[in-house]
């Protein structure tokens, strides 16, 4: 019996990692690309707010996020290099290091926009199977590999058919549910590649607080190296 578990448990761990890796493909269209993200945030008794970002991505660990709306935020940017993140504010004059977990707008953390690498940031364990809105899913437990990533833990539902991301619960290190996310709007955005073009995030306690991330304007192309140099952030504003 001991020998059976010795072989079965690593196999399930490998399967969990494969599931997360496959689901990541629906969250990024290529190795090097540009896209725009519009975020609409709302809360009870308040008018919705909209923020726009243009994101330049190269590989799994480098991205530049330029703030493009509203006008008062133009000139700001985020730069992710591996598990390091900097923000550039024109008034400050130089980049300042900040955490991926810090709030960006609404229910959105910096890492929700600047980094989308669940397979690289988390260790995966297969918990079982569940059905979400009629979709048969694998349920995967994700634990952060380091404290520098956006969330301490994620409970992740991935469809059995096609291994598409369906739902996620994002947790703090204390075990507190921070927010719930649902993925939809699956479209073939580039030839042969389907992407989840919408992510809806709802506060873990106050269900009236939510943010919707809409992804569009996707262009697959090479990005110059200067976009990923924190000393060049000022010149790219």
User: Residues of 5-24 as b/e, b for ≥16 C-beta within 10 angstroms?
Assistant: eeeeeeeeeeebbebbeebb
Average model confidence (pLDDT) for the chain? 93
**C-alpha of 82 from chain center:** 14
The domain that contains 49 carries what CATH number?
Answer: 2.50.20.10
Q: What is the mean pLDDT of residues 173-188?
A: 98
Q: Contact at 8 Å (CB) between 146 and 167? A: no
Number of structural domains in the chain: 1
**pLDDT computed for residue 78 by the predictor:** 98
pLDDT of 14-42, one tens digit each? 999 999 999 999 999 899 999 999 999 99
The model carries a pTM of 0.92
| Distance separating alpha carbons of residues 142 and 140, to the nearest angstrom | 6
10 falls in which pLDDT band (50, 70, 90)?
low
Nearest Cα to Cα of residue 214 among 23, 35, 32, 21: 35
7 pLDDT higher than 60? no
The CA-atom distances, in angstroms, between 87 and each of 50, 59, 226 are 20, 20, 16
> Helix count (H) and strand count (E) of the chain?
3, 15
11 pLDDT higher than 80? no
Q: What is the token pair recorded at 83?
A: 């598990």
Contacts of 153 (CB under 8 A, 6+ apart): 141, 142, 143, 144, 170, 171, 173, 175
Q: Contact at 8 Å (CB) between 206 and 106? A: no
Maximum C-alpha span of the chain = 64
Write the Ramachandran bin of 185: left for phi over 0, alpha for psi from -120 to 50, otherwise beta: left
Write the Ramachandran bin of 75: left for phi over 0, alpha for psi from -120 to 50, otherwise beta: left
- Residue-number span of the structural domain to which 171 is assigned: 2-236
5 pLDDT higher than 50? no
């Amino acid at each position: 019996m001991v020998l059976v578990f010795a072989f079965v448990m690593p196999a399930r761990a490998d399967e969990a990692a494969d599931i997360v890796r496959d689901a990541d493909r629906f969250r990024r269209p290529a190795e090097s690309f540009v896209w725009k993200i519009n975020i609409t945030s709302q809360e009870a008794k308040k008018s919705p707010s909209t923020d726009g970002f243009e994101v330049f991505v190269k590989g799994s660990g480098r991205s530049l996020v330029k703030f493009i709306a509203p006008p008062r935020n133009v000139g700001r940017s985020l730069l992710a290099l591996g598990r390091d993140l900097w923000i550039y504010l024109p008034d400050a004059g130089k980049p300042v290091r900040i955490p991926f977990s810090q709030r960006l707008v609404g229910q959105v953390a910096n890492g929700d926009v600047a980094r989308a690498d669940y397979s690289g940031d988390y260790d995966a364990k297969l918990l079982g199977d569940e059905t979400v809105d009629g979709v048969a899913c694998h349920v995967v437990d994700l634990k952060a590999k380091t404290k520098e990533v956006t969330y301490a833990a994620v409970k992740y539902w991935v469809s059995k058919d096609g291994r598409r991301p369906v739902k996620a619960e994002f947790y703090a290190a204390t075990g507190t549910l921070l927010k719930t996310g649902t993925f939809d709007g699956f479209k073939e955005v580039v030839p042969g590649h389907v992407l989840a073009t919408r992510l809806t995030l709802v506060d873990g306690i106050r269900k009236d607080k939510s943010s919707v991330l809409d992804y569009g304007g996707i262009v697959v192309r090479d990005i110059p190296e200067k976009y990923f140099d924190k000393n060049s952030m000022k010149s790219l504003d």
